């Protein structure tokens, strides 16, 4: 099969590999599309260096093929699989979706939402699942602030918070204002002109790396600050210090400060499927790239040229 092959961090090329064989509890997918997010770049580059210590491979990447978000068709069933059959259309995550075929555990898959393309479905799992898990507990009428609202996670954050009945303020740069408005934000703030004001019951922090004191100042006394991530934290830890500080501070303050560690789970993706089929969430796909240009797709996201989501089609 054709695949993007990555033997060491910082270097990958289009090449040929054997089609993988599904093991216990796994299925083989004919990949139709692969979503791209900031995490794809981190695992290609091996940066921040922290990623090498948390299970993705110390000297080089454990997976020879990059890409995790996937949509495709089940073509082979591994031992013990009862959840899916050959021919089923699914979406979720795997190790190595930048390829014509990929193996995925069924626990990381759900049925593809009806009425959406493979491209749209592949743009959902990691970003949509992260936003959904970060917004757990939001009640109708609450005020939610989404920082990085025009990015991958933030674009779902705005829509999911709206679907939960919240009043949503999205913060983004100028060229993403129209997208964030179109996703249903009640208010939009262009941070290049002026920063946000007011207080919020939940802050979903997907960009900007603002200080904890700034985030606490914008949080109601019993509000939640959910740290998703930022790209301005340095090559070694990627800003993880802010999360450690939040964990240390959390027991001593009235607000709930947490680092989100999102899980890639089929049941979470199935919740998203229901929201997509109900029309309350959609994938804001900005651009598609063919497999031969998968690395350009990653660079497009990393260099912050993307508006919404980017997908590699196979
Ligand atoms: N914790 C987890 O489990 C988890 C899961 C997924 C992702 N992440 C991390 O979460 C972060 C977001 O991921 P993503 O895929 O959504 O990345 P993304 O698509 O690059 O989105 C980040 C957004 O932040 C915006 N931004 C930058 N500076 C900002 C500022 N000062 N104020 C407001 N917005 C600002 C960027 O827009 P402009 O460039 O236009 O400013 C961009 O749209 C990444 O660091 C990623 O690694 C964490």
Q: Would the pLDDT of 238 be above 70? A: no
Distance CA 243, CA 185 (A): 27
- What DSSP letter does each residue of 228-273 carry, written as one string? ---S-S-TTTTTHHHHHHHHHHGGGSSSEEEE------HHHHHHHH
Q: What is the pLDDT of residues 129-172, one digit of tens each?
A: 999 999 999 999 999 999 999 999 999 999 999 999 999 999 99
* pLDDT band for position 40 (cuts 50, 70, 90): very high
Is residue 251 domain-shared with residue 288, that is, in the same domain?
A: no
Is residue 246 domain-shared with residue 178, that is, in the same domain?
A: yes
Q: What is the pLDDT of residues 172-191, one digit of tens each?
A: 999 999 999 999 999 999 99
Closest approach atom of ligand 1 to CA 37: 15
Helix axes 266-277, 125-134, angle to 10 degrees: 90
**Phi, then psi, of 78 in degrees rounded to 5:** -85, 170
Is residue 88 domain-shared with residue 22, that is, in the same domain?
A: yes
Is residue 23 domain-shared with residue 37, that is, in the same domain?
A: yes
- What pLDDT, on the 0 to 100 scale, is given for residue 233? 63
CA of 38 to the centre of ligand 1 (A): 8
Is residue 41 domain-shared with residue 161, that is, in the same domain?
A: no
From the list 152, 155, 150, the residue with the least C-alpha distance to 172 is 150
Instruction: Return the number of other C-beta atoms located less than 10 Å from residue 104's C-beta.
Output: 31
What length does the chain have? 314
Is residue 182 domain-shared with residue 194, that is, in the same domain?
A: yes
Give the CATH number, domain containing residue 309: 3.90.180.10
Is residue 10 domain-shared with residue 91, that is, in the same domain?
A: yes
Q: What is the pLDDT of residues 259-302, one digit of tens each?
A: 999 999 999 999 999 999 999 999 999 999 999 999 999 999 99
CA-nearest residue for atom 20, ligand 1, is 151
Helix (H) or strand (E) holding 119, with range, is helix 118-122
Give yes or no for residue 208 CB within 6 A of ligand 1.
Answer: yes
- What pLDDT, on the 0 to 100 scale, is given for residue 237? 64
- Average pLDDT score, the chain: 95
The answer to the question of residue 61 being in a domain is yes
CA-nearest residue for atom 18, ligand 1, is 151
CA of 133 to the centre of ligand 1 (A): 16
Is residue 255 domain-shared with residue 308, that is, in the same domain?
A: no
Pocket test for ligand 1, best of 40, 50, 129, 148 (most atoms within 8 A of CB): 148
Is residue 76 domain-shared with residue 185, that is, in the same domain?
A: no
Look at the alpha carbons of 50, 55, 56, 59 in this order and tell me if their dihedral is positive or negative: positive
The CA R_g of the chain, rounded to the nearest whole Å, is 19
The answer to the question of residue 288 being in a domain is yes
Is residue 56 domain-shared with residue 132, that is, in the same domain?
A: no
CA of 231 to the centre of ligand 1 (A): 7
CA of 207 to the centre of ligand 1 (A): 4
Percent of the chain having pLDDT more than 90? 87
CA of 305 to the centre of ligand 1 (A): 12
Is residue 120 domain-shared with residue 138, that is, in the same domain?
A: no
Token reading at 237: 């830890």
Domain count along the chain: 2
Domain holding 235, by residue range, is: 128-259
Token look-up 């989501």 returns 309
């Amino acid at each position: 099969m054709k695949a993007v092959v990555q033997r060491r961090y910082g270097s990958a090329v289009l090449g040929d590999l054997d089609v993988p064989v599904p093991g216990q509890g796994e299925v083989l997918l004919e990949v139709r599309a692969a979503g791209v997010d900031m995490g794809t770049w981190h695992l290609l580059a091996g940066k921040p260096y922290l990623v090498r210590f948390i299970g993705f491979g110390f000297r080089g990447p454990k997976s020879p093929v990059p890409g995790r978000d996937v949509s495709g068709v089940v073509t082979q069933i591994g031992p013990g699989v009862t959840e899916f059959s050959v021919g089923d259309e699914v979406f979720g995550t795997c190790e190595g979706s930048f390829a014509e075929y990929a193996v995925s555990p069924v626990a990381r898959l759900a049925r593809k939402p009806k009425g959406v393309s493979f491209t749209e479905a592949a743009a959902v799992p990691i970003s949509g699942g992260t936003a959904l898990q970060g917004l757990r507990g939001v009640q109708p009428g609450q005020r939610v602030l989404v920082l990085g609202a025009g990015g991958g996670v933030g674009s779902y954050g705005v829509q999911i918070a709206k679907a939960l009945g919240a009043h949503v303020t999205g913060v983004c740069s100028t060229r993403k204002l129209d997208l964030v408005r179109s996703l249903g934000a009640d208010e939009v703030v262009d941070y290049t002109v002026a920063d946000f004001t007011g207080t919020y019951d939940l802050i979903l922090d997907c960009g900007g790396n603002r200080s904890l004191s700034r985030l606490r100042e914008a949080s109601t006394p019993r509000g939640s600050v959910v740290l998703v991530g930022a790209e301005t934290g340095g090559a070694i830890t990627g800003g993880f210090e802010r999360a450690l500080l939040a964990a240390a501070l959390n027991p001593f303050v009235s607000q709930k400060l947490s680092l989100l560690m999102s899980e890639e789970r089929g049941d979470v993706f199935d919740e998203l499927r229901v929201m997509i089929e109900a029309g309350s969430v959609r994938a804001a796909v900005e651009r598609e790239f063919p497999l031969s240009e998968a690395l350009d797709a990653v660079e497009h996201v990393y260099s912050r040229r993307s508006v919404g989501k980017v997908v590699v089609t196979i």
